[in-house]
Amino acid sequence: MADSSSINSGSPSFLAAPSRDRGYLLTEQVNPASQQLDQLSTDDLVGLFIEEDLRPQQAVSGARTALSQAVDAIAERLRGRGRLFYLGAGTSGRLGVLDAAECPPTFCSPPELVQGILAGGAPALLRSSEGLEDLESAAVTDLQQRGFGPEDCLVGIAAGGTTPYVRGGLGYARDLGALAIAMACVPTDQAPLPCSIDIRLLTGPELLTGSTRLKAGTATKMALNILSTGVMVKLGKVYGNRMVDVAASNSKLVDRSIRILRDLLGLEREAALRLLECAQGSVKRALCMGSCDLNAEEADALLTVHRADLRSALFSKGMTLPVQDSALPQ
- What would the pLDDT profile of 33-64 be if each residue is shown by its tens digit? 999 999 999 999 999 999 999 999 999 999 99
**Does residue 104 register a pLDDT over 60?**
yes
pLDDT tens for each residue of 78-92: 999 999 999 999 999
Q: Which CATH number fits domain 55-234: 2.40.50.140, 3.40.50.620, 3.40.50.10490, 3.40.720.10?
A: 3.40.50.10490
Residues 310/319, Cβ–Cβ less than 8 Å = no
Instruction: Output the pTM of the full model.
Output: 0.89
**Does residue 327 register a pLDDT over 50?**
no
pLDDT score at 247: 83
Q: CB under 8 Å to 327, separation ≥6 — which residues?
A: 290, 293
Residues 187/135, Cβ–Cβ less than 8 Å = no
Which amino acid belongs to residue 213? R
**Among 130-139, 194-203, 321-330, the least confident range:** 321-330
Q: Please give the Cα distance from 142 to 153 (Å, whole number).
A: 14
Q: Which residues are catalytic?
A: 102, 133
Q: What mean pLDDT comes out for the span 116-132?
A: 83
Q: What mean pLDDT comes out for the span 190-210?
A: 97
- Of the pLDDT bands very low, low, confident and very high (cuts 50, 70, 90), residue 13 is low
Kindly state the percentage of the chain with pLDDT values over 70: 92
Instruction: Give the dihedral of Cα atoms 215, 219, 220, 223; nearest 10 deg.
Output: 180
Q: How far is CA 153 from CA 86, 168, 231, 264, in A?
A: 9, 15, 12, 34
Kindly state the percentage of the chain with pLDDT values over 90: 85
Q: Please give the Cα distance from 154 to 136 (Å, whole number).
A: 15
Which regions of the chain carry the CATH code 3.40.50.10490?
Answer: 55-234
Residues 215/56, Cβ–Cβ less than 8 Å = yes
Q: Please give the Cα distance from 242 to 84 (Å, whole number).
A: 23
Of the candidates 84, 81, 95, 26, the one whose C-alpha atom is nearest the C-alpha of residue 59 is 26
**Does residue 312 register a pLDDT over 60?**
yes
**Does residue 5 register a pLDDT over 60?**
no
Q: Please give the Cα distance from 206 to 38 (Å, whole number).
A: 14
Q: CB under 8 Å to 322, separation ≥6 — which residues?
A: 263, 264, 265, 266
Under DSSP, the state recorded for 16 is P
Other CB atoms within 10 A of residue 308 CB: 17
Which regions of the chain carry the CATH code 1.10.8.1080?
Answer: 251-316
Instruction: Give the dihedral of Cα atoms 282, 112, 215, 205; nearest 10 deg.
Output: -160
**Does residue 308 register a pLDDT over 90?**
yes
What is the CATH architecture assignment of 251-316? Orthogonal Bundle (1.10)
